[in-house]
Structure 1
Amino acid sequence: MGYQQKLYLASKSPRRRELLRQVGIDFEVLLLRDLPPRGPDVTEEVYPGELPEAYVARVTQEKASAAWNAMLARHLPPHPVLAADTTVVLGQQILGKPSDREHAIAMLTQLAGNTHQVLTSIAVKYQHQLLQRTQCSEVRFAPLSAAQIAAYCDSAEPYDKAGGYGIQGMAARFIEHISGSYSGIMGLPLFETCELLGYFKNS
């Protein structure tokens, strides 16, 4: 049997919640601050010269540590904390979440007809131990017309997702090929997640 204990999920993502439920993991969402007045627990700013894999790993570690500290500060029962971060990479360019429609159109125009990488890093923290894995998949988009991109960006789908698209949604019709982990592209690679949680079975 796999991981049977409760954990805290440090993520607002409905996709990550859906994926954990898919594999029968009991969890409670532990939200971090992302609004004033006290400011964010974790910023997703890219440091100058920071490579994509280092970036996504660092942000994930920061999320896991911030969530563990939030759990302690709120006097919640201690359970392992799961954090994750996903970024889309074209060449060495990190494509985060689009800020507006124009930004989303620009991102999808870059992705159209090209192969990009999706990096998802996961970390599980419990007490003084933090274990982490980063999973990389490749996604190839078909060539897209300006009209196709504009129509997609008229929907609500692109705006809370790295790279401006969700593979589990309407953008699936743009994708010619994937190599790697479908769940990782969604935002939580299940094989790697369950493997990490296996180290915390008795926590």
Structure 2
Amino acid sequence: MYQSNGLLAPVILASASPRRKELLGYILDDFDVCSADIDESPKENEKPECLVERLAESKAKVIAKQNQDHIVLGSDTIVVVNNIILGKPIGLEHFTSMMGLLSANTHEVLTAISLVYQGECKNCVVLTRVAMAELSESETLRYWKTGEPKDKAGGYAIQGIGGQFVKYIEGSHSSVIGLPLHETKVLLAEYEMPC
């Protein structure tokens, strides 16, 4: 039987995100990382909650196919404002438009986690509300020039330079970064070795 971390099997994080790797390291002392390449395009009329859950589950299932003796953790994060899903900015103009929507507004960050082990799948979606301060054009441009927004859903990182624009949050801080720690720990506990 597998003993490390007290789980039934070794864990693989199906994500290339260094932020998720760091966060999972707060819960587990031993796991592997394997990036999952999937199509992340939304389906027609797909609700944000359904999209983020489907993407997390798809990532986990892709890696689980080749690693059936592992517990595979998939995760995905999306930012939603005024029912518009904001992905990663594809250039300065797109980023400026996104920041215009977020400025002086409250948006939702949805992070889904999915655990797949021996054909069984357990999912959870965590919603956090984030209130942003008003951003001037010069602040937006300065932030873009830092390079931080370029690979971030919603175009900002709460744990980085972008944190200065966040007035307050209602929900999970770690979920906004990319992995809700409490909910991840609870799901993993379902695969703990019996005492």
TM-score relative to the length of structure 1 = 0.89
Q: CA deviation at 1:105?
A: 1.6
The corresponding residue for 2:79 is 88
Unaligned runs of 5+ in 2: none
Q: Give 2:36's match in structure 1, choosing from 20, 32, 52.
A: 32
The corresponding residue for 2:100 is 109
Contact kept in structure 1, 2:158 and 2:177, CA below 8 Å: yes
Match runs of 1:122-133 below 5 Å: 122-133=113-124
Q: Give 2:50's match in structure 1, choosing from 45, 48, 54.
A: 54
1:141 to 1:129, Cα distance in 2 relative to 1, 3 A: same
The corresponding residue for 2:14 is 10
1:3 to 1:117, Cα distance in 2 relative to 1, 3 A: farther
Q: Does 1:153 align with 2:144?
A: yes
Which amino acid in structure 1 is aligned with residue 52 of structure 2?
V
Cα shift readout 1:72-120 (whole Å, capped 9, x = no counterpart): 5xxxxx2100000000000211101111222112111110100000000
Q: CA deviation at 1:10?
A: 0.3
The corresponding residue for 2:111 is 120
Cα distance between partner residues in 2 of 1:12 and 1:99:
19
Which amino acid in structure 1 is aligned with residue 141 of structure 2?
A
Contact kept in structure 2, 1:84 and 1:120, CA below 8 Å: yes
Cα distance between partner residues in 1 of 2:75 and 2:121:
13
Matched positions, count: 190
Cα distance between partner residues in 2 of 1:137 and 1:163:
13
Q: Give 2:62's match in structure 1, choosing from 56, 63, 66.
A: 66
CA RMSD, Structure 1 to Structure 2 (Å) = 1.7
Q: CA deviation at 1:2?
A: 6.9
Cα shift readout 1:146-189 (whole Å, capped 9, x = no counterpart): 00001101111111111000100001110101010000000000
Cα distance between partner residues in 2 of 1:2 and 1:108:
43
Cα shift readout 1:105-139 (whole Å, capped 9, x = no counterpart): 21111101000000000000000110000000000
The corresponding residue for 2:188 is 197
Q: Give 1:165's match in structure 2, choosing from 152, 156, 160.
A: 156
The corresponding residue for 1:38 is none
Contact kept in structure 2, 1:123 and 1:132, CA below 8 Å: yes
Contact kept in structure 1, 2:6 and 2:193, CA below 8 Å: no
Cα distance between partner residues in 1 of 2:81 and 2:111:
14
Q: CA deviation at 1:3?
A: 5.2
1:125 to 1:180, Cα distance in 2 relative to 1, 3 A: same
Moved more, 91-100 or 23-32: 23-32
Cα distance between partner residues in 2 of 1:2 and 1:109:
46
Q: Does 1:45 align with 2:49?
A: no
User: Structure 1 vs Structure 2: percent identity of aligned residues?
Assistant: 40
